[in-house]
Amino acid sequence: MMDNKMIVEGSLQSEDGGFSFLGRLPYYRGLGLSMIEDIQVTVDGEVQSRESVRFSVRGKTYTLDEMETVYDDRWNFGEKAKIIVLNGGLAAGDHQITFAVRYRVSYLPFVPTTKDTKDLALAA
Amino acid sequence: MSKIKRGVSLYSYQNETFQGKMTLEDCIRTSAELGARGIEIIGEQTFWGWPEYGAADADVENWHRLIKQYDCTPVSHDFMLDYKRYKGRIMPFDEQVASVKRDIEFGARLGMKFIRALVSIAPEVLVAAAPHAEEHGIKILIEVHAPLHFDHPWIVRHAEAFEKSGSDALGFLPDMGMFLHAFPPVWKEKFLRIGVPRNIADYIEKAYADRVLSEYVILEVQEMGGTGPAIAMAETLRHNAAFEPKRMLDYMPRIHNIHGKFYQMMEDTNGDCVEPSIPYDEIVKVLQQGGYEGYICSEYEGNRWIEDAEEPDSVEQVRRQQVMLAKLLGEAEVPTIKTSPTASADAEATREAAE
């Protein structure tokens, strides 16, 4: 659900050593960060390494490994998290971004991965 | 006049609240204008922070202010209990019970009568938390939801545990989706969009109407050459069935809230509204026969079946269901929305633009 609303339109921007965009959890509620198993970002067909991804909400930034044991913070319902990728940066212009999230839901007999792909422009 | 009351689970408006198109005030006011004055929430959907870092006092004060302003009644805080919080191991029993106790306290803080437990939670956890619920004037209701139903051994086990506990703080919250009498048209249309051949989709819809065992339907679809999406469509029959509303009658003393699940409300030119796959006329009759006096809370779940093709209009869908429910309950007035359902969100956006 809300799969096509995961990536926030117009949110691509440059960061020191990389780029970021805003992402939402495709779910009718939020989740504690320890239940976010993986976030995979693909840019123009190139999969970015797990180590290069950072997740940031309300001024706090985590690596994906750190998130696995974070029990006192969460990705709230509809909350726009800043997804940072430290890949050295992107050239100005259009980029195709795929944002895939794997999350552990207690009541589901499987671990879902949901993704969204959008073309986002990076201002010069 | 029926003693059954109308309410809305704010889950119904998720497509709008997720995007910030409706605020909590919009949700509560719209429900109240429809005469659906019982408000149910998924606590952690409505209150950012819950449970990991807690709900802000200001947000809880706002909740009480809105409930009072629109003359509504808090009905249920639906809690989740993430017992898979720790990677690779299930949360220990004592910690699960402590977690349920915190949700009992949160429900009481919101003025709720009930908290909803997911059906996968073990009965022993709920029984252990029952005395705490009694102290706080809360009942813990386990949601009986498809593919489970009132004759399933897992639900029977809960019922036995509840009786043995002697506590009246334990009960059931049936989800009307378990009485799926016809294959929902919005499901069929979605499966057609993702590539199920028309003849196979027609066959599955007909087989559902004929109550054919799911495993036979799956085999038949394979023999028709069905792959991927066609098999997935057939497999929905494993998880859904036309159980009978009258099965609720044995459990009436412990049924305290109802999820008015629906996938699609259709409206004819006379303004009459109907859910094509769930028999609400029969459901209301059974509930009245059983002496039910609680709420039926709208729970719109068609959003996820149509959002790939069109933007859901949750408010219109809830309005139609409330029109149907009011008529089935013998109410004279037709529920009507008077204020724009996005009035409060629009006002906030205007304020922010001015700053």
Model confidence pLDDT, tens digit, residues B144-196: 999 999 999 999 999 999 999 999 999 999 999 999 999 999 999 999 999 99
Over range B61-83, report the average pLDDT.
98
**Any bridge partners for residue A95, and if so which?**
A120
| ipTM, two decimals | 0.96
Residue boundaries of the structural domains of chain B? 5-179+243-354, 183-241
User: pLDDT tens digit string along A74-103?
Assistant: 999 999 999 999 999 999 999 999 999 999
Candidates A35, A78, A107; nearest CB to B19: A78
* Vertex B242 angle, CA B244 and B290, to 5°: 20
Q: H or E element: which one contains A18?
A: strand A18-23
Q: Which CATH class is domain B5-179+243-354?
A: alpha beta
Please give the residue of chain B at the shortest CA–CA distance from A72.
Answer: B52
Please state, in angstroms and rounded to a whole number, the distance separating the CA atoms of residues A2 and A101: 13
Over range B7-33, report the average pLDDT.
98
Half-sphere exposure of B263 (CA within 13 A, CB side): 22
SS3 string of A23-48? ECCCCCCCEEHHHEEEEEEEECCEEC
Q: Do B52 and A32 count as a contact with CB atoms less than 8 A apart?
A: yes
What is the least distance, in Å, from the CA of B52 to any CA of chain A?
A: 5
Read off the tokens for B282.
């029969």
Predicted local distance difference test score (pLDDT) of residue A109? 85
Q: Do A78 and B18 count as a contact with CB atoms less than 8 A apart?
A: yes
User: pLDDT tens digit string along B104-157?
Assistant: 999 999 999 999 999 999 999 999 999 999 999 999 999 999 999 999 999 999
Candidates B18, B45, B118; nearest CB to A2: B18
In terms of C-beta density within 10 A (0-12 exposed, 13-18 middle, 19 or more buried), how is residue B197 classed?
middle
Q: What residue has token string 């719109």?
A: B300
Residue B1: pLDDT band (50, 70, 90) is: low
User: pLDDT tens digit string along B219-278?
Assistant: 999 999 999 999 999 999 999 999 999 999 999 999 999 999 999 999 999 999 999 999
Q: Which residues of B touch A31 (CB under 8 A)?
A: 82
Query: CA nearest A27: which of A113, A90, A97, A118?
Result: A113
Distances from the Cα of B26 to the Cαs of B16, B86, B112, B181, B351, in angstroms?
A: 10, 36, 20, 33, 16
Predicted local distance difference test score (pLDDT) of residue A47? 98
Q: Which residues of B touch A74 (CB under 8 A)?
A: 44, 49, 52-53
Inter-chain contacts counted by CB atoms under 8 A, chains A and B: 79
Predicted local distance difference test score (pLDDT) of residue B186? 98
Predicted local distance difference test score (pLDDT) of residue A1? 86
Q: Write down the H helix ranges in chain A.
A: 64-67
Give the percent of chain B with pLDDT over 90.
98
